[in-house]
A and B are shown apart, each in its own frame.
Chain A
């Protein structure tokens, strides 16, 4: 028994040590970086004092938990700082690098209990502290001043350390109170309804009272028997009336008191939540903590010299927001170093100082928001390269690219796959990172934009809320199932007539604020089986916007807007597409909360449509042109299949069963594209293609060959006769086929 409690104690101690060590190491890293930037001499001395103290404390704690390895390294590092204090050594790049390596090594040892001590590193450290390098003159006061507010290692008196886990648990419990608030509101409404009913009852009672009085008068002249038999009825009525009056009084009191209680509870719950949220606030400086070290490492790897500065670290924001922003911020800084700031040689060629500068400025702006401005003084973003990349990824065609203004073009970098880097590296260049950054920011209810001037630099501006607002959702029904949609994503709920739904390119669309936007049934996107549909009735539509895309979703009805408590779905459902979480209604029912970003992704992925909004809008401009495709195929199965696929994508389709028939139809009607099989009676597909190409008016008609033959030789034959595409039936896939047809027609129209 005793042994067990001792073990528990040791485990607890180790956990505390781990947290403490991390703190020390972070401060040491920060201090080293400041020191490395050579601040004025007094400041250097102060920094070394601090570093010495931190290392010494860490050493002591390591000893206390019996970690000899960390104790040893700390001793060696401490010796170096001691040597500096005794003016026996000055810091060189070698010393910095070695200490950084040692800090990394300690980090490793802290995280893995059985890490091996790197003796070589210790030897190196000891060697450095022992070599009393010549007492060089200490560098003159540097003219650059460091603005690093996060550097203040403030120790606050009367503060208490509480684990974030405990705080989070507490917060969750406080959040549960919202449930009571919502329920109380419902009950207040119920009470009011009861009172209303009683009022109606009273009206009736008054009429009854009058009638009773009249009746009493009427029978006053009647004989005794009648009068006597009426008495109990009248008495009973009087008694009832008394009870009714007191009931009414009571309900009225209940109602008044109830409302007052609810009002008080409302205020208290809201206040408590607000105070609780404040507890979860942390200075933004925490977000900057690990950046200097990372900047230094990456810059070194790329042979660049980068100076990082911060302003506004004292602004406080919700810890959950800061946690979420850590990776996005890393990514932007990485981008700045990799793509923005050039090497010292490149920079001096451009007439810039060899050392690049990245600055992060946090500023509180109106409406409880913070603005993070991250700027570098590098090359800037090459807009032509972005456009090129966007064209290569079929996000837009050449004309669209040419029409984009500078700002629109720049913001393309937040789309998947777009990159200015000719090559993807392990650091960046794959064109995915900024998309993830943008998604995270939007998820946090913030926004991100980029500005860049060629040759001058790039600036990212991120706006974020300082605290997480209580989640508001819109309660809707689709196929009779309840869902919540985050209110931040809902632009409007409205009613539209079926006539206003237009089919363009196989996709249903409606017009919203002068824009043509895609229209889906929510149940189709969520894959809920449809039970009934009433085509002719007006539809209820929810306009949802996420990641800059607006889509309309048909639903059954909108119930109400309300505050919700977000509940996660548990570990068995780590991530489920289209839903971000769930909530529980007053009556205890579980309702799923829709993830707007997922939902729009899922909707746009439904086949027979192009998936990118820009391209869609481009296509919609050409909506008036009805495009006819000629399909020549002798097999009835394939012909029917392809005809359906093409028609579903919004094309008009004419069919022929052999090349000869196909050729005559081609000449009779206005055909925009030809799809043909090869093996057919009378005139085969290759001969047909050849014949079509030989005529001048068809020299540019897109021709798609679709065949069961797929050898290299077959494909070459297809190219010889002038086909634009050759599809092997065995690899046939509907969505890519439609996409190909769309592309060929788009290109064709571009040539018009």
Chain B
């Protein structure tokens, strides 16, 4: 009986310690949690709060007749998710590279995946170190880029991607 009590006491202490520790990491600065990935030979990032999950890109069904930036449809646990190819949307000129992962974005009622060539890392960054102006970009890039990090990694505007009508396909026949 006593042994069990002391065991529980130890566990509680540990739990308390863990619960205290994590905020200190975040408190150093107002951290922004991001997911970094590669497209062709460029590096991109998106805030984790828009990322619902990441899964390998396989068994994609192409969508004939759709705009070319819609790469196709995948099945994620019995739900159909459309996958967008940012390389085509942003006209990233390169010899075609193939994507291996889908980063599924979600906010409110909008949900779709973006294809990533490679996954780099998840990390917490200091948002004050982001450069937010970038002259000489195409309209679409201008609209969906939130900033550039010093290491040239581009931060995408998740909010904008998930709300902009240019991403939504609503075709009428006739």
| Chain A interface (Cβ < 8 Å from any Cβ of B) | 176, 179, 481-482, 526-528, 567-579, 582, 584, 588-592, 597-598, 601-602, 605
Contact = CB atoms under 8 A, between A and B. Distances in A.
A575 B169 contact: yes
B172 A577 contact: yes
B109 interface: yes
Interface string B107-127: 001111000000000000000
A527 B64 contact: yes
Interface residues of B, number: 30
Nearest to A581: B80
Contacts of B79: 567
A395 to B, nearest CB: 15
Contacts of A576: 63, 65-66, 169, 171
B41 interface: no
Interface in B91-149: 109-112
A176 B78 contact: yes
**Would you list the 8 A-B pairs with minimal beta carbon distance, nearest first?**
A572-B112, A590-B61, A574-B170, A526-B64, A577-B171, A590-B73, A601-B173, A527-B65
B174 A578 contact: no
Given A584-B75, A590-B59, A590-B80, A573 B64 contact: no
Contacts of B84: 572
Contacts of A605: 174
B154 interface: no
Contact of A588 (B59, B65, B111, B173): B59
Interface in B73-93: 73-75, 78-82, 84
Nearest to B162: A572
A590 B168 CA distance: 20
B56 interface: no
Contacts of A579: 63
Contacts of B63: 573, 576, 579, 592
B64 A590 contact: no
A54 to B, nearest CB: 35
Contacts, number: 90
18 contacts: A481-B64, A567-B78, A569-B73, A570-B111, A572-B168, A572-B169, A573-B63, A573-B82, A573-B168, A574-B170, A575-B169, A576-B63, A584-B78, A589-B59, A590-B61, A590-B75, A592-B73, A598-B173
B167 interface: yes
A592 B64 CA distance: 10
B74 to A, nearest CB: 6
Nearest to A579: B63
B70 interface: yes
A579 B79 CA distance: 17
Contacts of A526: 64-65
Contacts of A481: 61-62, 64
Contacts of A589: 59, 61, 75
Contact of A578 (B65, B82, B168): B65
Contacts of A572: 82, 84, 110-112, 167-169
Given A577-B171, A588-B75, A601-B174, A571 B59 contact: no
Nearest to A591: B61
Nearest to A479: B64
A570 B81 contact: yes
A601 B174 CA distance: 8
A567 B81 CA distance: 10
Nearest to B59: A589
Given A576-B63, A591-B61, A592-B61, 9 more contacts: A176-B78, A527-B65, A528-B64, A568-B80, A572-B111, A573-B82, A575-B170, A584-B75, A590-B80
Interface in B43-66: 59-66
> Which residue, A481, A576, A592, has most C-beta atoms of chain B within 10 A?
A576
A589 B78 CA distance: 10
B146 to A, nearest CB: 20
